[in-house]
Amino acid sequence: MERETWDQQVGEAQALQTDKNADAPLLRAIAASRGMDVLELAGRVMANKAGLEVVSGAVLGQKQAYEDRLAQAADVEAVRAIEVRYALPGM
């Protein structure tokens, strides 16, 4: 369920960072239920977004590089020779 609201959370967090009185019903409800300040929650949402962008970019880039190698492989042996390693930023 949280994943389905991610775009809304980011939109509301961006609005709150511009105007602390912005309409943000979802984040305000989450913050109230957690007993925390909505602006702190907005900051956390934006930090999560930034982290996800870095990791997603790294994973997608690696996936596409492997797809390129597979497309260039001439035969099954060439496919078997492809070394698979994943690296995540900061890990």
Model confidence pLDDT, tens digit, residues 1-32 = 888 999 999 999 999 999 999 999 999 999 99
Answer whether residue 33 is part of any domain.
Answer: yes
Instruction: Give residue 85's pLDDT.
Output: 85
Instruction: Give residue 84's pLDDT.
Output: 87
Under DSSP, the state recorded for 36 is S
Answer whether residue 45 is part of any domain.
Answer: yes
What torsion, rounded to 10 degrees, do the Cα atoms 28, 31, 33, 35 define? Answer: -130
Helix, strand, coil: what percent of the chain each, to 5? 75, 0, 25
Instruction: Give residue 91's pLDDT.
Output: 65
pLDDT per residue over 41-91, tens digit each?
A: 999 999 999 989 988 998 999 999 999 999 999 999 999 999 988 887 776
Answer whether residue 89 is part of any domain.
Answer: no
Answer whether residue 12 is part of any domain.
Answer: yes
In terms of residue numbers, what domain contains 33? 3-80
Answer whether residue 87 is part of any domain.
Answer: no
Answer whether residue 41 is part of any domain.
Answer: yes
Answer whether residue 88 is part of any domain.
Answer: no
- What predicted TM-score, i.e. pTM, was given to this entire model? 0.74
Q: Which long-range contacts (CB under 8 A, 24 or more apart) does 72-77 make?
A: none
Answer whether residue 86 is part of any domain.
Answer: no
Number of separate domains in the chain: 1
